[in-house]
Structures are given as structure tokens and as C-alpha cells.
Amino acid sequence: MITQLKGRLVEKSPTDVVVDCHGVGYMVHISLHTFGQLPEDESIQLYTHLQVREDAHTLFGFATRLERQVFRLLIGVSGIGANTARTMLSSLTPQEICQAIQTEQVALIQSVKGIGAKTAQRLVIDLRDKVLGLVEDSDFSAPVSNTNRDEALSALEVLGYRTKACIKVLDGLLAVDPEMNVERLIRNALNKL
């Protein structure tokens, strides 16, 4: 099984990339989460999952091991295929998925395109214990409450921006500079929304 690729990024789009590894080009399907974390330079490393079916061998790539682990847990649930799992990872971060499953936020899981009420409930029931083990084994911890982030989010919501989009942008900004003040957070978020 191909578990990791390290090479030169030849092509990229929001849904897939081509990685040249010593003259062999691998087409790798990715989520929007991974696309957002691709480096600017050509050198790239992706953690992969190879799906083998009678009609195709499909390679899925992930920026982090946690994202790959969450993907593997998702495809293990009845009714969740690889494309649905990739859509979930494009709509929510791996941490948000873990937290939604742990806290039984069925409505949040159901907000992902292609996930109905029964599938969302099955996800919570099937993965609640597995996600807990995954969270304890990885370096992931529940998001710490950040008052600057909360104030900025509140201000952006008042301005009419969608909560999910705002959270994604604010978390990205705070990943770069965790000490960013509220004013800069709002200004930078407005430029990205």
C-alpha cells in the first residue's frame, strides 16, 4: 500500500494534485482542507490512502496524519463512501468532525452535502468511542476558547457573514499568529471573506 508521497508538485486543483516522485506522476485526490495547506514551493509531502476496487485504484492524499485517520474512520461507516468522506473533510476540519462526533452535533454533521439525518446519527453512534481514542492518541486537543476569536466572530456575524465561513477564516489567521488582536483579526478576515 502507498502510505506517503514525497516529491514535486506538478499540478494542483482544489480536488486533486499530481505529485512527481522520481519521474512517476501520481494523481492524488484531496480535500479542500488539504488544498488550503499545500505549500507554495514545489516540494510536497502527503499522507495517502489507496482505495482498491475492481474498476479503479484511487489514491487519496492528506496534509496530516489526523486527517487521514479521520478519513479512514469515516469510510468505515456504512453509507459513507470515499467521496462523501472527502466532502466532509472539505466542509469541516478533522478537528471539527471529531468534536462534532464527540459532542453529538448531528445537525452540524448533517449540514455536509450528501449526509442525511440517519447517516449523521449512525456516524455519531459508530465513531463516538473511536474518535475519543483517536483524539487521545494524537496531538489534537479540543479548541481552546479564544476571546479575541469569539469577539471577532461575533462582529463578523453582526455584519452578515456566515458563521462557518468566518470560523474557518479566523482559525486560519490564528494559526499563523495566535496573538492577533481583535481589530486585526476582523480586518484580515474581511479581506478573505
Say if residue 127 is in the same domain as residue 153.
Answer: no
Boundary (domain end) residue, out of 25, 40, 62:
62
Tell me how far CA of residue 20 lies from CA of 15, 30, 83, 89, 161, in angstroms.
17, 16, 24, 24, 39
Q: Check residue 28 and give its pLDDT.
A: 96
Q: Is residue 114 part of a domain?
A: yes
Helices vs strands, H then E, count in the chain = 9, 5
DSSP 8-class letter at 25? E
Domain containing residue 12: 4-62
Q: Is residue 164 part of a domain?
A: yes
Say if residue 133 is in the same domain as residue 173.
Answer: no
The C-alpha cell that represents 79 in the structure block:
453509507
Please give the Cα distance from 172 to 32 (Å, whole number).
13
Boundary (domain end) residue, out of 117, 137, 157:
137
Going from the first residue of the chain to its last (193 residues), give the mean pLDDT of each consecutive group of 10, the final group possibly shorter: 91 93 94 88 92 93 93 93 93 89 90 89 90 59 59 83 85 82 86 82
Tell me, what CATH number does 128's domain have?
Answer: 1.10.150.20
Say if residue 123 is in the same domain as residue 169.
Answer: no
Say if residue 57 is in the same domain as residue 71.
Answer: no
Total tally of structural domains belonging to the chain: 3
- How many residues appear in the chain? 193
The C-alpha cell that represents 180 in the structure block:
492577533
Q: State phi, psi for 12 to the nearest 5 degrees.
A: -150, 145
Residues 6+ apart with CB under 8 A from 67: 31, 33, 34, 47, 89, 94
Tell me, what CATH number does 46's domain have?
Answer: 2.40.50.140
